[in-house]
Structure 1
């Protein structure tokens, strides 16, 4: 009986770990960017994947923030479950560094990982040239 209890508890712990590690992420269906001069909506799979990766891998920076100017883009992300989340996207196209500020928590800055920031800057630069 003791052996069955140990096996059962181990299986429950393993299942919980798997659910935490493989937590499903929300699927993005569209991303709308608005700046002073342009408005862009992305719905294609490749672009959406770049945004999903960028949002999913951000790193929260400690402390409150005080940004010195307007965002490069106001970003509206629409998920498959119809949830809409707003972000301010700040992008430096020269250094290809960027960060997000979620509208619902404007005191926390989300730093884009280097690879994701470069991919996002490249995608947005393509739009600026066209």
Structure 2
């Protein structure tokens, strides 16, 4: 009887491990940003990859957050039609940024330096193009 219990528990743990390690990655199909002055939607592969990398590698910051108005409100739409709302704060001078998930607005998600820089560069292009018009 002990042998069957141990075997059953081992099988369940193995199945959970396989599911966690090999579950399909959620694919982003679009990212929409809204600020006080503009709205832009990204659907191109290169831009989507920058957003995916930034979201996938955030570092959770412990403690509650109290911040001012966001740089952008961000809507991420996944291939399975799931929609996740974020608030994006970006300092274009230092190229540092962080996200706050709308569903948990007290937890800050710090963008890793490299991803934050790429995202700031991408968003700076939009800022420059808007100024030229």
The question of a shared fold, defined as TM-score above 0.5 by the shorter chain, is answered with yes
Residue 75 of structure 1: SS of its match in structure 2? strand
In 1, distance between residues paired with 2:105 and 2:111? 16
- 1:25 positional shift: 2.0
Residue 50 of structure 2: SS of its match in structure 1? helix
Q: How many residues align?
A: 128
In 2, distance between residues paired with 1:18 and 1:93? 41
In 2, distance between residues paired with 1:99 and 1:34? 16
For the aligned residues, what is the CA RMSD? 2.1
Residue 120 of structure 2: SS of its match in structure 1? helix
User: Alpha-carbon deviations, 1:17-71, whole Å to 9, x = none?
Assistant: 444234422111110000011111000010001101110111110011111x100
What residue in structure 2 maps to residue 59 of structure 1? 59
Unmatched segments (≥5 aa) in structure 2: 1-5
Unmatched segments (≥5 aa) in structure 1: 1-5
- Are the structure 2 counterparts of residues 10 and 100 from structure 1 closer, same or farther at C-alpha, using a change threshold of 3 Å? same
- 1:83 positional shift: 1.1
What residue in structure 1 maps to residue 21 of structure 2? 21
**TM-score relative to the length of structure 2:** 0.84
Runs of 4+ in structure 1 off by over 4 angstroms are 8-16
- 1:12 positional shift: 7.2
What residue in structure 2 maps to residue 79 of structure 1? 78
